[in-house]
Amino acid sequence: MVNENALTVSLEEFGLSKYEAKAYVTLISKGTISASELAYYSDLPRTKIYPTLLKLESKKLVIISKSKPIMCTAIAPEDAFDSIIHEQINKVNAMNALVSNLKKASEESRKSRGSEEKRYFHLNANNVLEQLRVMIDGSKLSINIMADQWGLGLLAECKEQLNSVIRRNLEVKILVPPSQICSESYRIIQDGVKIRVSDIIQNSFIFDETELLIVNSDNGKGATFSSTDILGVNQSKVFANIWKNAMKTESLVDMTKSEAQEIYKIIRVVNENGLHHILNSSIIYKKPEHEMLKLLEKNGINLKLKSLDEVIEIMDAALQIMCSGNVNFDVNAKNITIESKLNTGHSLPWASILDEYLQKQGYKTRMAYQNQSNKGEKIHLKISKY
């Protein structure tokens, strides 16, 4: 089914006003109707119908009858927009030719000088937001962003521009610090944008891997660097490296900020100390007893106060983030399956946390590890009450 709202928005981008676009789409779908019917079906004010029709007629998009009541008919799209399309194509071709000639002149000028000029522009705090909107709108291929709380706040005010580039299928990636997971600004810009978490110490906005905007969160001032500067390319490489190792956030989007922050903290503790902690405990004590729970408690996380469902939800989100895994609890079979898509053994700390938690809650547990070759690994926890 054709989405009339989407058609209306597209026509607005084509140069029609909102009223003109709604009226034209309505006429296309309804055929020849009276002006009053058009007002009804398009949900436009009656006082605006006739001026809107006259504008559409002047643009050769509708035919208006001279009779009473006034009847109106849409010109077929292929006839209505053919000349406009060709006009735009000619303009684009002329612009491409102009850009090519200007580029050639620039290259010849640089050769004669024997060096390339650096081009950058300082922006005061009042102009940074508008410049950011312009650069988002002008992107052709990709947008990569590292943003702290200040930068994320700026992006939240660019939601319209971000939505526009996403509709054009541009890839938008944002790295944010842990403190901004599920924050108000995070939620405003989340739809359609890929967001990961890492330790961010700057606001760097990279467009098409060449154009660069850097913003100082201490004073709000910024600077742009053009595609002639190698800085943009270097920043793209830095971003790609951080992105590869950053934490995914998709499984956290439906959580509160405090819940998401807690999961990130648990992941950080387990990542930094979990496997090493388990191995050391096994060597020293042969069979560690509640070592992972103690490790988490030392870092201010007390899982013993949570229900089993809450703990499983935390473990499931963490495994999705760390290894595209999951936790499944078969209540009838009294079996918990911890699955990882990676064969690294790093699912063991998460299984250990669940195992220790269950024992603390009065369950008897039996753990079985299953390596699935290149398909990942599974750990089965069979539980029963003492």
CATH number for the domain spanning 25: value is 1.10.10.10
Q: Residue 72 sits in which domain range?
A: 4-80
What pLDDT is attached to residue 340? 84
- The answer to whether residue 100 sits within a structural domain is no
Domain count, the chain: 3
What pLDDT is attached to residue 120? 64
Enumerate long-range contacts of 305-312, CB under 8 Å, 24 or more apart: 308/357, 308/358, 308/361, 311/353, 311/354, 311/357, 312/336, 312/354
- The tens digit of pLDDT for each residue in 90-113 reads 777 888 888 887 877 766 765 655
- The tens digit of pLDDT for each residue in 227-243 reads 555 666 778 888 888 89
Q: Which of 248, 273, 295 is the last residue of a domain?
A: 248
**Domain shared by 15 and 63, yes or no:** yes
CATH number at residue 351: 3.30.1380
**Domain shared by 265 and 366, yes or no:** yes
Q: Residue 115, CB half-sphere, CA atoms under 13 Å: how many?
A: 3
DSSP 202-226: SEEEEETTTEEEEE-TTT--EEEE-
CATH number at residue 211: 3.30.870.10
- The answer to whether residue 331 sits within a structural domain is yes
What pLDDT is attached to residue 129? 92
Amino acid at 197: V
Q: Which of 205, 225, 248 is the last residue of a domain?
A: 248
**Domain shared by 131 and 157, yes or no:** yes
What pLDDT is attached to residue 285? 43
Question: Among 9-23, 43-57, 291-305, 343-357, which range has the highest average pLDDT?
Answer: 43-57
Percent of the chain scored above 90 by pLDDT? 17
**Domain shared by 229 and 269, yes or no:** no
Residue 174 confidence class, pLDDT cut points 50, 70, 90: very high
What pLDDT is attached to residue 2? 58
Q: Which of 248, 283, 308 is the last residue of a domain?
A: 248
- Does residue 25 surpass a pLDDT of 60? yes
CA dist., res. 104 & res. 110, Å (int): 10
Question: Is this model's pTM higher than 0.85 or not?
Answer: no
